[in-house]
Copies of this chain bind each other. A is one copy, B any other.
Amino acid sequence: MAKNKKQKVKRPKALPPRGLRDYFGPEVVERNEMLGKITDVYQRYGFDPLETPAIETVEALGSFLPDVDRPNAGIFAWQDEDDAWMALRYDLTAPLARVYAQFSKDLPTPYRRYAVGPVWRNEKAGPGRFRQFYQCDADTVGTPTVAADAEICGMLSDTLEAVGIPRGDYIVRVNNRKVLNGVMEVAGVLDPFDPTKFEAERGIVLRAIDKLDRLGTGGVRALLGEGRKDDSGDFTGGAKLSDEQAEIIMSFMDARCDTGGATCTRLRELVAGSDMGLTGVQELETIAELSEAQGYGSDRLLIDPSVVRGLGYYTGPVYEAELTFEIFDGKGRKRQFGSVAGGGRYDDLVKRFTGQEVPATGISIGVDRLLSALREKGRIGDQDNGPVLVTVMDRDRMADYQTMVSELRNAGIRAEVYLGNPKNFGNQLKYADARNSPVAVIEGGNEKENRVVQIKDLALGKDLAADITTNEEWKAQPAQMEIKRADLVTEVRKMIARADG
């Protein structure tokens, strides 16, 4: 900086890189509080926190992102001094796989871990879509039992209620990739002895099912056959299945019945002949039974064959938490809020490092989506509790004002003294307004002499504040009262309680 003084200074732009943003005050507090409630549930379920560094080697991360629908999705990567490539993590699962491969001898088996933190994607940012965002994951590594999957589904349900989504406003949908594969086998697009055969067709089928919400059954049916022309005239090639094959897939998607038991019975018929499919149905039945026994009935957990999720990744049960209440979208149309969390079983991630298959299952909560759901429901958003402001009437008596804030703080009340230029009292009140202060404390020379102070209910007086600039005008208002200096803490506390109540 010293050097710059002599040169013509080229000023840096005061902007973050594109696609990144800052979070202020209540936004940070609200997110932290929500994450605290989530991790309390995770902790109670016996999950242990793990915090990995933001940076991993590129080889440890792997060159793939979980969602194969976006193959161009990128990472932020650079070369270290010794030319090794390193990158910011794009999720919390890849680092978990690295940690488990590195420390498996020291970790308990099974290893239940949770992780909370930002991840980074080098993608085009859009409205509400940023290149850094939070994830909040819980995974159980090292056990093949679907009791682990059932546990995670139950935990997901408890978590949603803990953060403030009432029962009835969410549903956890469960499916199983093995059932899907069984249906594919029955339809003749999966050969258990040659898993690579028909890979392209299966990809199209899976993506089609994933789009059921958007395209409807007609659209999906078209994609199973010759293909589909969308409204803009663009044509998407289909899987070119025969009518008979396509019907098998369509009946799978339509297999959901009123109860989990009935759905499983229907699925069992559909996958008859496929060992993998039958195993999958059996697993779904076990999950439904275990959940039912713990009180997670069909009002909270639903076997739903239409759930597929990020397809390159999962090997068994997959699950998704949806919020079922309605909101208005950008175009003023009512729609369900939709998915806020999801996950499933993935048995191959640790294998990349060690060669050994390590069964694992887990969920990831979409922190920002869940936050915005809670805002929609009015569960958060009024947490901007500003500090009590002790105003400065006489700048030579800062010590007096500091003593007042000390007393308030020692009593647990958020409080501060005005540290700007105290000359203009109106500025102090504007400041209190900007800080969302509930109460202002005023002690001029007269008050000091009489051992009293004025306290001002700013919540009550907020509407009038714009027009008031002098202490005298404030005094004339009903929201202001004179109290004994000795009663400062008691009276301020009362006034805050009134404002909150």
**A52 located at the interface, meaning its Cβ lies under 8 Å from any Cβ of chain B in the complex:** yes
**A248 located at the interface, meaning its Cβ lies under 8 Å from any Cβ of chain B in the complex:** no
Cβ of A405 to closest chain B Cβ, rounded Å: 8
Cβ of A94 to closest chain B Cβ, rounded Å: 10
Interface segment out of the listed A16-24, A174-182, A440-448, A486-494: A16-24
Interface segment out of the listed A140-148, A263-271, A374-382, A455-463: A140-148
A290-B399 in contact given A46-B416, A140-B419, A414-B46 (Cβ < 8 Å): yes
Interface segment out of the listed A59-67, A208-216, A329-337, A466-474: A59-67
Asked whether B110 lies within 8 Å of A419 as measured between CB atoms, the reply is yes
Asked whether B50 lies within 8 Å of A22 as measured between CB atoms, the reply is yes
- Interface positions of A from 410 to 426, Cβ below 8 Å from B: 412-417, 419-421
**A1 located at the interface, meaning its Cβ lies under 8 Å from any Cβ of chain B in the complex:** yes
Most buried by B among A14, A27, A49, A62: A14
A283 to B420, CA, bound (A): 17
The 8 Å CB contact of A44, one of B81, B120, B409, is: B409
Asked whether A22 lies within 8 Å of B51 as measured between CB atoms, the reply is yes
The 8 Å CB contact of A43, one of B59, B110, B145, B414, is: B414
Interface segment out of the listed A72-80, A232-240, A273-281, A319-327: A72-80
A15 to B103, CA, bound (A): 10
Asked whether A1 lies within 8 Å of B64 as measured between CB atoms, the reply is yes
- Interface positions of A from 1 to 33, Cβ below 8 Å from B: 1-2, 4-6, 9, 11-17, 20-25, 27-29, 32
**A482 located at the interface, meaning its Cβ lies under 8 Å from any Cβ of chain B in the complex:** no
> How many copies of this protein are present in the complex?
2
Q: Which residue of B lies closest to A101 (CB)?
A: B14
Asked whether A11 lies within 8 Å of B49 as measured between CB atoms, the reply is no
The 8 Å CB contact of A1, one of B110, B112, B352, B355, is: B352
CB pairs A–B below 8 angstroms (15 shown): A1-B62, A9-B355, A13-B59, A15-B98, A17-B53, A17-B86, A43-B414, A46-B414, A54-B88, A54-B118, A78-B78, A107-B434, A151-B417, A290-B399, A295-B406
Give the B-binding residues of A (Cβ under 8 A). 1-2, 4-6, 9, 11-17, 20-25, 27-29, 32, 43-46, 48-57, 59-60, 62, 64, 76-78, 80-81, 84, 86, 88, 98-99, 101-103, 107-110, 112, 118, 120, 122, 131-132, 140, 142-143, 145, 147-148, 150-151, 154, 158, 196, 199, 289-290, 293-295, 312, 348, 352-355, 387, 398-400, 402-403, 406, 409, 412-417, 419-421, 431, 434-435
Given A22-B52, A46-B414, list of 6 further CB < 8 A pairs? A1-B352, A12-B62, A12-B98, A28-B49, A46-B416, A294-B399
